[in-house]
Amino acid sequence: MAVVHIDNLAPGMILSRNVCDRSGRMLLPSGAELTEKHFSIFRMWGVLEVEIVGEGVAEDPEAPQHEEVDPELLRQARAEVERLFVHNDPEHPAVKELLRICTERRAANAS
């Protein structure tokens, strides 16, 4: 079993656990084979990660490679971004994902 971010999912992967939205409503049962349509549903309902059968996902060789960012620079970027999102619920899946993306971009631009 591996927890995989929805950006790294591929059609044909098998769920090892039920996928539920924030309120606990089941969107897809364990054992289901994923299709492109499921990825849209996950995004629509704020699902960012799912558990799949297997040991993880092989990196896409054509995907852009991320450089290692200095942890201190990442911490500073996170603090700056959190100030921008101070009036948002940091536990909401969409806000959590925006925080992650903005933090990565701000740290990358600062280095």
CATH number, domain containing residue 7: 3.90.105.10
Provide the mean pLDDT of the chain.
Answer: 84
Query: Tell me, what's the pLDDT at 85?
Result: 92
Q: Does residue 78 share a domain with residue 45?
A: no
Q: Are residues 39 and 10 in the same domain?
A: yes
Same domain, 8 and 47: yes
> Is residue 58 within 8 Å of residue 43, measured between CB atoms?
no
12 and 47 co-located in one domain = yes
Asked if residue 60 is part of any domain, the answer here is no
47 with 15, same domain? yes
Average pLDDT of the residues in 61-81: 75
pLDDT tens track for 89-109: 988 878 888 888 899 889 888
Residue 66 within a domain: no
Q: Which domain holds residue 20?
A: 2-53
How many C-beta atoms lie closer than 10 Å to residue 58's C-beta?
9
68 or 21, which is more confident = 21
What are the helix (H) ranges across 1-111? 36-44, 71-84, 93-110
pLDDT value for 67: 61
Render pLDDT for 36-64 as a digit per residue (tens, 0 to 9): 999 989 988 888 889 999 865 444 444 44
Is residue 65 in some structural domain?
no
- List CB contacts of 60: < 8 A, sequence separation 6 or more: 8
- Residues of the chain above pLDDT 90, percent: 40
CB of 18 within 8 A of CB of 69? no
What is the pTM (predicted TM-score) of this model?
0.54
- Do 6 and 43 share a domain, yes or no? yes
Task: Collect all residues with Cβ–Cβ distance below 8 Å to 47 and sequence separation of at least 6.
Answer: 6, 19, 20, 21, 27, 41, 93
Query: In 3-state terms, what secondary structure has residue 99?
Result: helix
- Specify the number of domains making up the chain: 2
